Amino acid sequence: MRGRHIAVVSIVLAASACASSTSSSGLSPAGAVTVFAASSLTGAFTQMGKDFQAANPGTTVTFNFGPSDGLAGQIESEGTADVFASASTTWMDSVSTKVGVSHLTQFATNRLVIITPPNNPAKIGGISDLGRPDVQLILAAPGVPVGDYARQVLKNAGIANAAEANVVSNEQDDAALVAKVASGEADAAIVYLSDVTTSVAPTVKSITISAALNVTAVYPIAVVNGTPNATMAAAFVEYVSSAQGQVTLKAFGFLPPPATP
């Protein structure tokens, strides 16, 4: 997976040039933080980046969004991230082992849902229909968390082989899945519940996957070892897990983090 070209989206939230270097949360001097984050976090993290900068004048938050496996590979080979937020513990474990992390915490969870074009041409009514031979199904590629989670759901439903035979395209991330289904290029896809935002909802039909068959995606975040911006990076990690950060995540369709034992 890592040998393939990975398309990512970078977003820079520029702080005001005249802002004070003293942060309202007591961080001084102000600085910059580069966050590598799973593409499913794009909306929520973009908003949190703006809020974090407003609370810490003079900071600059730069985001690099993409599939968690590709981002982990970049961190391990290039070491350019201050913070890593993954849609899977697997890729956080990889970065932790090969590069090292600190301030590791699980900050959100997610569930999966089936989406079809609005008119649902294949008449998908539930997960079992994805194994019918007349269905054109798209999934995220193996190794991409949402793709791995989707295949686990199909296995749970007992239709893994039949559904895999229907896969006409393996995509790099959940955003590509949503775009292709919304444009009618496939009959169905399995994406995160949080992908069906208020703007996306009118462009697709959403079909629930039962709790008995669904899986829970766990999102970890951590400071990457070796960053020169450790203080600001740790502050951003703390903000994501804070009450205000959790309100933003909920607004973008994410579920609370796992309960601590």
Whether 4 maps to a domain, the answer reads: no
Q: Say whether both 29 and 58 belong to one domain.
A: yes
**Residue at 101 is within a domain:** yes
Report phi then psi at 143, rounded to 5.
100, -30
Q: Are residues 68 and 54 in the same domain?
A: yes
Nearest to 85 by CA among 50, 53, 51, 40: 40
Same domain, 18 and 99: yes
Question: First CA to last CA across the chain, in angstroms?
Answer: 34
- CA R_g for the chain: 19
What is the structure's pLDDT at 13?
A: 57
Structural tokens at position 196: 């069906």
Task: Find the CATH number of the domain harbouring 190.
Answer: 3.40.190.10
pLDDT at res. 147: 96
The strand order across the sheet containing 167-171 reads 167-171, 137-140, 188-192, 112-116, 205-208
* Same domain? 15 vs 138: no
Residue 1 domain flag: no
Domain for residue 258, yes or no? no
- pLDDT of amino acid 261: 59
User: Tokens for 17?
Assistant: 């040039």
Give me the pLDDT at residue 218, please.
Answer: 97
pLDDT of residue 189: 98
Q: Tell me, yes or no, whether 224 and 182 share the same domain.
A: no
Assess if residue 2 is contained within a domain: no
Per-residue model confidence (pLDDT) at position 4: 38
Angle (nearest 5°) at CA 45 between 203 and 109: 75
Residue 97 shares a structural domain with residue 190: no
Determine the pLDDT at residue 31: 83
- Are residue 106 and residue 16 in the same domain, yes or no? yes
Does pTM surpass 0.75? Answer: yes
* Omega cis (within 30) before 202: no
Residues 92 and 120 grouped into a single domain: no
Look at residue 4 and give its three-state secondary structure. coil
| Shared-domain flag, residues 97 and 179 | no
175 lies in some domain: yes
What pLDDT, on a 0 to 100 scale, did the predictor assign at position 25? 39
Does residue 103 sit in the same domain as residue 227?
Answer: yes
- Quote the pLDDT of residue 30: 59
Q: Would you give per-residue pLDDT tens digits along the chain (261 residues)?
A: 333 334 445 555 544 333 333 333 333 345 899 999 999 999 999 999 999 999 999 999 999 999 999 999 999 998 889 999 999 999 999 999 999 999 999 999 999 999 999 999 999 999 999 999 999 999 999 999 999 999 999 999 999 999 999 999 999 999 999 999 999 999 999 999 999 999 999 999 999 999 999 999 999 999 999 999 999 999 999 999 999 999 999 999 999 999 865
Tell me if 256 is assigned to some domain.
no
- The number of folded domains in the chain is 2
Q: Are both 96 and 35 inside the same structural domain?
A: yes
Question: 41 and 88: one domain?
Answer: yes
Residue 147, domain extent: 112-208
Q: How far apart are CA 182 and CA 184, in angstroms?
A: 6
Phi, psi of 13 (to 5 degrees): -105, 100
Residue 261 domain-assigned (yes or no): no
